[in-house]
A and B are shown apart, each in its own frame.
Chain A
Amino acid sequence: MSPHWYHVCCRYRGQVVRIHDKFGNVHVGRITRVTPTHVYIAPVGPRNLGGFGYAFAGWGWGWGWGFGIALAAIVAIALIGLFW
């Protein structure tokens, strides 16, 4: 279990994120579910990406919680926000 990423993913559940893993993959989607070992993200359309500029097609997401990513494999999570 990765307490740091578990906490972060729970905090941003429902938001669109870009997750970088230690294998060099980049996953973009909305966080739908967080377990002690995985975070699940669902694809979002180009209009809902909030500036991340990614498009999705043919990734074979299927139904349910979306695509699962092991928390232990995460190296960074990118979000967007407003700063003063």
Chain B
Amino acid sequence: MTTYLDMLAEMGVDGAHPGGFDLTKNILRKLKIDCHTALLDVGCGTGQTAAYIAEQYGADVTAIDIHPIMLAKAKDRFSSLTHPVHLRRASVEALPFADGQFDIVLCESVLAFVSIPRALAEIYRVLKQNGVLAAIEACHLQLTDKEKQKIAAFYGFRHLLTSQEWENELQKKSFQHIGITYSSASHPSAAQTPFLITANMSLPILKMIETHQQMTKQYGDRLGYCVFSCQK
């Protein structure tokens, strides 16, 4: 069965998260990254963000993903970089890294698809003391349980939380200095990711793109994303 993540992988969408790459760059500018920063990009996808950080900031970047097509695309992208990116196949629920290894962990639309308690525990573990978690994640505003179930079933979300619920999850794992902002999917700045429909796309993928567009239109006023940062 084709999943939403399979669709993203087949389409090879860069910046496949709300706000697109422009939002990513805005977040990175606030993170004080330099050549001494050890950064982990969780769920790197095609590797657009990781490559940008390595080239722009000269940081020590490690990127992980679990999808084989995404990993192949990221590997291909990283092969032409001046600054290397360490690419691993790994899940955020079981990070293959030592405790206190990273200054920054970046998650761009990852945590909603996994077990949040397990993922946050792992991220907390691999962060250095005072290290920062920055994330862009799906978030909702007053969706009913039935609506949440429908949306979660299509996208494969394990959790669909409000910004308050995200904050509670972060607090439970002892993260500090939590800052969260919510944006609606129907806000013009949210739709900035270009994608390409090609002649060889399969019908299931095309149908999935259609359903995705319908969902965004139908629930965009109450379904959106939150950007948050917090510190260990």
CB distance from A14 to the nearest CB of B (A): 12
Are A83 and B197 in touch, CB under 8 angstroms? no
Q: Select which of B8, B155, B191, B213 is within 8 A of A50 by beta carbon.
A: B191
Q: Select which of A7, A52, A78 is within 8 A of B196 by beta carbon.
A: A78
Is B138 close to A, CB under 8 A?
yes
Are A78 and B192 in touch, CB under 8 angstroms? no
Given A7-B206, A11-B210, A75-B199, A83 and B194 contact (CB-CB distance below 8 Å): no
- B interface: dominant SS: mixed
Is B212 close to A, CB under 8 A?
yes
Is B195 close to A, CB under 8 A?
yes
**Once A and B bind, how many residue pairs between them come within 8 Å at the CB atom?**
68
Are B13 and A76 in touch, CB under 8 angstroms? no
Is B133 close to A, CB under 8 A?
no
Complexed CA–CA distance, A52 and B157 (Å): 29
For this complex, into which size category does the number of interface residues on chain B fall? 20 to 34
Residues of A within 8 A of B225 (CB): 84
Q: Select which of B15, B155, B197 is within 8 A of A79 by beta carbon.
A: B197
Are A76 and B17 in touch, CB under 8 angstroms? no
The interface bits of chain A over 62-84 (1 if a CB of B lies within 8 angstroms of the residue's CB, else 0) are: 00000000000011111111111
Are A83 and B8 in touch, CB under 8 angstroms? yes
Are A83 and B18 in touch, CB under 8 angstroms? yes
Are A80 and B194 in touch, CB under 8 angstroms? yes
Given A51-B192, A82-B190, A76 and B206 contact (CB-CB distance below 8 Å): no
Complexed CA–CA distance, A82 and B225 (Å): 10
Complexed CA–CA distance, A7 and B85 (Å): 41
Is B112 close to A, CB under 8 A?
yes
Are A84 and B198 in touch, CB under 8 angstroms? no
Is B129 close to A, CB under 8 A?
no
Within 8 A of B (CB), among A29-84: 50-52, 74-84
A-B contact pairs, 22 of them (CB 8 A): A5-B199, A50-B191, A74-B199, A75-B198, A76-B197, A76-B198, A77-B197, A78-B195, A78-B196, A80-B194, A80-B195, A81-B191, A81-B193, A81-B213, A81-B216, A82-B192, A83-B17, A83-B18, A83-B195, A84-B4, A84-B112, A84-B225
Ordered nearest first, which 4 A-B pairs have the shortest CB separation? Answer: A83-B16, A82-B191, A77-B197, A76-B198
Q: Using a CB–CB distance below 8 Å, which chain A residues touch chain B?
A: 4-5, 7-8, 11, 50-52, 74-84
